[in-house]
Chain A
Amino acid sequence: MRKISLKKIDSLFSAIAENSVLYMPVDTKTGAKFEQWENGKELSDSLNTVRSAKDFFFPQTENLMDFKVEGKKIEVIDSRSETEDFVVFGVRACDVKSFDVLDKVFLAEPQDSYYKNRREHGVIMSLACTKPNETCFCTTFRIDAAEPAGDVVCYKTDDAFYMDAKTEKGKKLLSALEGITEAADDTAVTEQQKLTRERMSKLPLASLKADAFGNGKTKEFFDRPEWKELSESCLGCGTCTFVCPTCQCYDIKDFNTGHGVKRFRCWDSCMYSDFTKMSAGQPRLTQLERFRQRFMHKLVYFPTNNDGMFSCVGCGRCLAKCPIQMNIVKVMKKLGGNSNG
């Protein structure tokens, strides 16, 4: 493990930024947001960013390819380019776990080369939580906020940053920083982890369990009458899907610039009525079906296809952002029975 005094934090950031583009959460008028670091920018103290970190690998909008159209002729222009190396600093345990979920989708054969390229060039410096709040429930999905995954795991104490490399990428990054960091034992980190885990165990959602859901439970939950009541007030605004670190549904759309056609991939949402609408009909007619789809996917379908891995990391963003205060926790409590806290 290496450490650096908090007073020298800027020298750490500028050393990282020398070799790679560096992003980190900074405070803005609209909340904490990942921004490219430059001299003078300070790491946000907030627990989490408003938007998740999925943008780094799966941006909200991206240009997939271009077309040149002349008369009856079409030319496909592969506009992909190698991403430059980048470091994302300060990713919380929940968001780091969300990358595993996204990997299951985008790195399954046939692999998505746009996503893979960014994954290969990105280094994750995660940041352990110290003050998880009442919307946090990462423990439900066996995530330890006190010890996130990532290429380099960082811990911020009152006077220092501790850094522990977990992967080859992480080791390479830390060894390049040896000149400004010093070797450290893990006493302070262990102490911090103990406190954080104690705090986690006292949070209101600490006893929420996902055990009732998972692999192969489609029949058990699909026709449950509770979906009606749960979905009744859903506005279908899609906010939950946009702030969600694991929601990855996308649309592909063409835009004619007047000088050619650009094909884009954009985030889409299963909460929207036109998501599944086709000329032959609409399999998800009302908001009940769309609402059910989102939660069944996270709690049942995804685990069925991915060895039990849930497609929720308990970050709590949907709890904070849903305009009608409906969320996955309420769904789990209602459908999962009393044993679910």
Chain B
Amino acid sequence: MADIKEPLIPKIGVVTDIRIDTPDVKTFRVVTPDGKKAFDHKPGQCAMLSIPGVGEAMFSITSSPTNTEFMEFSIKKCGCVTEWLHSMEVGQEITIRGPYGRPFPVDTEFAGHDMLFVAGGIGLAPLRSVINYCRHYRDRYGKIDIVYGSRSMQDLVDYKEIIDEWATDAGVEVHLTIDREQPEWDGHVGFVPNYVKELGFSTDKIAVLCGPPIMIKFTLAGLQELGFDKTQVYTTMELRMKCGIGKCGRCNIGAKYVCKDGPVFRFDEIDELPDEY
């Protein structure tokens, strides 16, 4: 039977680099034991990572598919599995399976459009994949705006990459904000939804949101006030998962499974789902 493919049986991944992003977020670089990328994926898709004996959990793949050498996962320490992952050292093996889920429609609905990315906290992790994809294929998209906020300056994930790479790109504008004043911060202070409204974007673009539910709720409302239609706004959702393939039965919202019908949804699609997420 060993030659029959089984989706629940994972591959081995080796952690080759660990970057400390914030006090509770680390970014892990993962390759196969022979130094290759574990599998191809599309922006917005996820992977199941596990430590045998500790547990398995679903994480968004934060690196772009255009990175052909390795995958990266930005992970916030908040439970059993993530705590173990945070205690790892370089060289540690983990298990990996995927890719799972419906990706962002980067080559269809997003193509040719100005893009507005809005993220809060660790919500940047799934968006980093699509942002870097759009930056890689720069001529396929119009202007790119990125609004990103966190509790404090120290809680901004990928800060170095944002400042050194994203903010210096032609046609990319980065708008950072933190929740409360800090002596060493001379940027914007305030919550993400308010900042989006203050910036007052024109409605001829596609918006992609990811962050805490409360941020999503008020940012969506703000965008609608600016004149955005729900068909122009996307998000990526998160529910508890065990299988990743629509069988274990726990990540459904109504008849849709977040693991296979999502995690990416357009807000008019979310309107069709019952309010249980």
A residues near B, CB below 8 A? 64-65, 67, 69, 72-76, 78, 80-82, 105-106, 108, 110, 112-114, 117, 218-219, 222-223, 248-256, 261, 263, 265, 268, 270, 275-281, 283-284, 289, 293, 296-297, 300-301, 304-305
- From known contacts A76-B95, A261-B52, infer whether A252 and B248 are also in contact, taking CB-CB under 8 Å: yes
Q: How far is the CA of A105 from the CA of B243 in the complex (A)?
A: 12
Apart from A114-B6, A249-B250, A283-B276, what are 5 other A-B pairs with CB-CB below 8 Å?
A: A64-B8, A72-B92, A74-B95, A78-B6, A113-B5
Q: Which of B53-61, B145-153, B170-178, B219-227 contacts A (4 or more CB under 8 A)?
A: B53-61
- In whole Å, how far is B37's beta carbon from the nearest beta carbon of chain A? 18
Q: Which residues of B contact A289 (CB under 8 A)?
A: 276
Q: How large is the interface on B (under 10, 10 to 19, 20 to 34, 35 or more residues)?
A: 35 or more
> In the complex, which residue of chain B has the Cβ closest to the Cβ of A305?
B255
Q: Which residues of A contact B250 (CB under 8 A)?
A: 249, 268, 270, 275-276
Q: Is B274 an interface residue (CB 8 A)?
A: yes
Is the pair B248, A251 in contact by a Cβ cutoff of 8 Å?
A: yes
Is the pair A254, B52 in contact by a Cβ cutoff of 8 Å?
A: yes
Closest 10 CB pairs of A and B: A249-B249, A67-B52, A261-B52, A279-B78, A304-B255, A301-B255, A222-B274, A279-B79, A110-B7, A74-B93
Q: How far is the CA of A91 from the CA of B257 in the complex (A)?
A: 32
Q: Is B201 an interface residue (CB 8 A)?
A: no
Q: Is B1 an interface residue (CB 8 A)?
A: yes
Is the pair B52, A69 in contact by a Cβ cutoff of 8 Å?
A: yes
Is the pair B2, A110 in contact by a Cβ cutoff of 8 Å?
A: no
Q: Is B64 an interface residue (CB 8 A)?
A: no
Q: How far is the CA of A78 from the CA of B6 in the complex (A)?
A: 10
Q: Which residues of B contact A305 (CB under 8 A)?
A: 255
Is the pair A108, B246 in contact by a Cβ cutoff of 8 Å?
A: yes
Q: Is B239 an interface residue (CB 8 A)?
A: yes
Interface of A is mostly: mixed
Is the pair B53, A261 in contact by a Cβ cutoff of 8 Å?
A: yes
Q: Out of B10, B78, B79, B251, name the residue touching A76 (CB < 8 Å).
A: B10
Q: Which residues of A contact B4 (CB under 8 A)?
A: 80, 113, 117
Q: How far is the CA of A87 from the CA of B270 in the complex (A)?
A: 46
Q: Which residues of A contact B78 (CB under 8 A)?
A: 279-280
30 cross-chain CB contacts under 8 A: A64-B9, A65-B9, A72-B89, A74-B94, A80-B4, A81-B1, A108-B246, A108-B247, A110-B7, A113-B1, A250-B243, A250-B249, A251-B248, A252-B243, A253-B55, A254-B50, A261-B53, A263-B52, A268-B248, A268-B249, A268-B250, A270-B250, A275-B250, A276-B239, A276-B240, A278-B238, A279-B79, A283-B239, A296-B254, A301-B255
Q: Which residues of B contact A275 (CB under 8 A)?
A: 240, 250
Q: Which residues of B contact A265 (CB under 8 A)?
A: 8
- B224-243 interface mask toward A, CB cutoff 8 Å, 1 = contact, 0 = none? 00000000000000111011
Q: How far is the CA of A291 from the CA of B249 in the complex (A)?
A: 14
Q: How far is the CA of A276 from the CA of B238 in the complex (A)?
A: 11
- From known contacts A110-B5, A300-B255, infer whether A284 and B276 are also in contact, taking CB-CB under 8 Å: yes
Within 8 A of A (CB), among B251-277: 251-255, 273-274, 276-277
Is the pair B2, A80 in contact by a Cβ cutoff of 8 Å?
A: yes
- In whole Å, how far is B236's beta carbon from the nearest beta carbon of chain A? 13
- From known contacts A218-B274, A252-B56, A254-B52, infer whether A278 and B239 are also in contact, taking CB-CB under 8 Å: yes
Within 8 A of A (CB), among B89-120: 89, 91-95
Interface centre among B91, B249, B253, B273, by most chain A C-beta atoms within 10 angstroms, is: B249
Is the pair A277, B92 in contact by a Cβ cutoff of 8 Å?
A: no
> In the complex, which residue of chain A has the Cβ closest to the Cβ of B57?
A278
Q: Is B189 an interface residue (CB 8 A)?
A: no
Q: Is B167 an interface residue (CB 8 A)?
A: no
Q: Which residues of A contact B277 (CB under 8 A)?
A: 283
Q: Is B18 an interface residue (CB 8 A)?
A: no
Is the pair A218, B255 in contact by a Cβ cutoff of 8 Å?
A: yes
- From known contacts A250-B249, A276-B250, infer whether A73 and B8 are also in contact, taking CB-CB under 8 Å: no
Is the pair A74, B52 in contact by a Cβ cutoff of 8 Å?
A: yes
- From known contacts A80-B6, A110-B5, A297-B252, infer whether A252 and B242 are also in contact, taking CB-CB under 8 Å: yes
Q: How far is the CA of A237 from the CA of B95 in the complex (A)?
A: 34
Interface centre among B4, B52, B238, B246, by most chain A C-beta atoms within 10 angstroms, is: B52
- From known contacts A254-B53, A256-B53, A305-B255, infer whether A280 and B238 are also in contact, taking CB-CB under 8 Å: yes
- In whole Å, how far is B232's beta carbon from the nearest beta carbon of chain A? 23
Q: Which residues of A contact B162 (CB under 8 A)?
A: none
Q: How far is the CA of A110 from the CA of B56 in the complex (A)?
A: 19
Q: Which residues of B contact A268 (CB under 8 A)?
A: 242, 248-250
